[in-house]
Amino acid sequence: MTSLLVELYDRHVLEKNVYQAYISNSDELLFLSLDKIDDDEKFSLRQFILDQVAHVKRVTFRQVSLEQLEAQLDFSLPNYDQVLLDVFGGDSLLAISLYQYGLSRNLPIVAMDIENGKQYKWQAGRLLKEDLDIPTLTIQELIALRGGKLLKSKRPIFSQQQVVAIKKLAKLAIADPSHWYQVTQFFSLAKTNDLHAETEKTLANNGKSYTYPTTLIPLLQEAGMLQVKLENKKKVVYTFPNQEAQIFCRSKGHVLELYLYLLALESQLFDECMVGGEIDWNGIFPEADNVQNEIDVILRKGRSIVFISCKMTDLAVEAINELEVYANHFAGETCHKLIVCTGKVNPVYANRCQEYGILVIRSEQIPNIIPMLTKYTKKQKGK
């Protein structure tokens, strides 16, 4: 016995075409649209559903016209033992036409309201409403739906002592980015082998000297980012406890990424938090000319996803364009986009961010980023 679910294709939010496949028990899905569906979207959606939803064996798409709808469906639907029509969402005219078709052919009709977790159907002269258990896609699944692949990400766990120390270091770095750059340059220049270094306390590069940051060492140790083995007036011997610690001490911007990650975790508002999400553009890895991108911080609450770009420099147009492209490609137009910038923000660039729907968080606003993000997401959802 073969069953079919007929869906109205949602061309605005790709993931809204996925949830019905999980909810129904149908063997096959048929998506209808008055407009041509992009080939890349069809490929990604079909592949995702077939990979993720075990009971679905086939996914097809059909561009239809209102005038020929009855004839087109009459040609296809008799091949199935069971047919269910979902008339919620998509094009309004197509929804009405599909509803009329279902009535004329005595086919079961439902309206699955994914956003509110409800299903409606007309039975015995009255409207019946029932709750739906709507699944949520993970960050990895949302990226896979659009043809990408999350190659790696970090969800580090720290003790309370480490969290306090990391936040202190972050505040110092945000208050004086140039000094923090000096610190990270020292650790970058020191010759390191297997996370272990023996080095002079003053290192030179391109005519500039960088000094061992004595005053910050206690905080770095409390944060679990450094283990000092030996120290005298001229030399120091230290070890990074792990790769994460080495990146923290050597990368100017990583302290900001970790700070935002910790603030998100502490808020307990998000279902998923990750830092340093490395994404393959087309999901094929490895391959020649492979294209990969890294999103500094990625958050998810329910079916909403947030991409955050961290910049401990002046805001550049390249950073704005990158975030816009990455967010739209990997998470769709409904992705919430933030740039956290400790440097100067040119008014022209600020206006461009506003046009793109990107929220810009400046240095003095960083401690309040979570309430600002909450207000921003509510505003974006209401548009």
316 vs 129: CA distance, rounded Å? 51
Q: What is the mean pLDDT of the chain?
A: 91
What 3-state class would DSSP assign to 299? strand
Tens-digit pLDDT profile for residues 254-277: 999 999 999 999 999 999 999 998
Q: What is the DSSP letter of 358?
A: E
Residues of the chain with CATH 1.10.10: 160-250
Average pLDDT value for residue range 16-36: 94
Would you say how long the chain is, in residues?
383
Q: Beta partners for 128?
A: 121
Provide the pLDDT for residue 330. 86
- The pTM for the full model equals 0.88
Tens-digit pLDDT profile for residues 153-169: 899 999 999 999 999 99
Provide the pLDDT for residue 3. 96
Q: What is the DSSP letter of 34?
A: S
When pLDDT is cut at 50, 70 and 90, the band that residue 288 belongs to is very low
Going across the sheet that includes 235-239, the strands are 192-193, 196-200, 235-239, 227-231
Contact 341, 315 (CB under 8 A): yes
Tens-digit pLDDT profile for residues 72-95: 999 989 989 999 999 998 889 999
Is the model more confident about 148 or about 290? Answer: 148
Per 3-state DSSP, the chain is made up of helix, strand and coil in percentages (nearest 5) of 40, 30, 30
What 3-state class would DSSP assign to 104? helix
Contact 100, 93 (CB under 8 A): no
Contact 236, 227 (CB under 8 A): no
Residues of the chain with CATH 3.40.1350.10: 149-156+253-381
Contact 195, 240 (CB under 8 A): yes
Report angle CA 156, 198, 244 to the nearest 5 degrees. Answer: 10
| Fold of the CATH domain 160-250 | Arc Repressor Mutant, subunit A (1.10.10)
Average pLDDT value for residue range 279-306: 73
Task: Indicate the class that CATH gives domain 149-156+253-381.
Answer: alpha beta
| Range list of β-strands (E), 144-234 | 149-154, 192-193, 196-200, 202-205, 208-211, 227-231
In CATH terms, 3-135 corresponds, of 3.40.50.1450, 3.40.50.10770, 2.30.30.40, 1.10.287.110, to: 3.40.50.10770
